[in-house]
Amino acid sequence: MQSASPSPVSDTIGREQIEGLRGEVHRLQAASHEALAAAMAIGVAEATLADARMALATAEQQLHEGEVAYTAQRYQRGWERLVSARGGLSRAEEAAVRAGLAHIERALTEEYGLRPARNLRPERSTGVTGQVTQGVVNLREGAGTSFQVVGKARVGEVLDILHETSEWYQVRTSDGRQGWVFKGLITRLPVREAR
């Protein structure tokens, strides 16, 4: 004689429903681990990832409890624990992604003088100028020698200074070309000498 499987505690939660939720939670678990690994790979400090790690650990405990309840065919309890795990895993993934994006934004701003897209506006003259002091200098796409050369400026040429980082100026030539120049190649002019 075939034994009947125990029915779920609640009439509203069945095996098919909980299996769908289990699949969703396992995908979120993988995504959370990937987000943490990616954040660590780009150099996010361990302390910055503490919230993401805490949310992940709590969610994985809830996932384990949900799986135990599912195996014991206590579907209502399994459902409740898996729903909690889903929320925790979503929070863990979001915290890791936010930490990674904040790290990238800081690095770009500090190293290259770039601003996040939401702050970009058409460049206007600041009234500050600089004069090229050596031969022919390269205008680059970004603040660093690894960026592509987009133009040249010659000794004596006066450039509008649009932005600056610790080592680079973003400049515009008299014919409207924009690029980044190493500060050591330009002398900043007093405002009264501006053209």
Answer yes or no: do 106 and 36 share one domain: yes
- Please say which residue of 90, 112, 134 terminates a domain: 112
**3: pLDDT confidence band, cut at 50, 70 and 90?**
very low
Do residue 104 and residue 144 come from a single domain? Answer: no
**What residues contact residue 73 under an 8 Å CB cut-off, 6+ apart?**
5, 6, 8
Residues 165, 77 within the same domain: no
Same domain, 53 and 104: yes
pLDDT value of position 92:
93
Would 78 be classed as within a structural domain?
yes
20 and 67 belong to one structural domain: yes
Domains contained in the chain, number = 2
Inter-residue long-range contacts of 152-160, CB under 8 Å, 24+ positions, other chains counted? 153/181, 156/131, 156/132, 157/131, 157/132, 158/129, 158/130, 158/131, 158/189, 158/194, 158/195, 159/129, 159/130, 159/131, 159/132, 159/186, 160/125, 160/126, 160/128, 160/129
Residue 70 sits in the same domain as residue 142? no
Contact between 10 and 76 (Cβ < 8 Å): yes
On the CB side of 145, CA atoms within 13 Å amount to 3
Choice among 90-99, 103-112, 131-140 with the minimum mean pLDDT: 103-112
pLDDT surpasses 90 at 110: no
pLDDT on residue 90:
92
pLDDT at res. 124: 55
Is 65 part of a structural domain of the chain? yes
How far is residue 14 CA from its own chain's centroid? 39
CATH number at residue 154: 2.30.30.40
Q: Judge whether 55 lies within some domain.
A: yes
**Residue 140 belongs to some domain of the structure:** yes
Which residue range(s) make up the domain with 27?
15-112
Same domain, 92 and 143: no
* DSSP secondary structure letter of residue 25: H
What does the pLDDT read at residue 111?
64
Give 40's DSSP letter: H
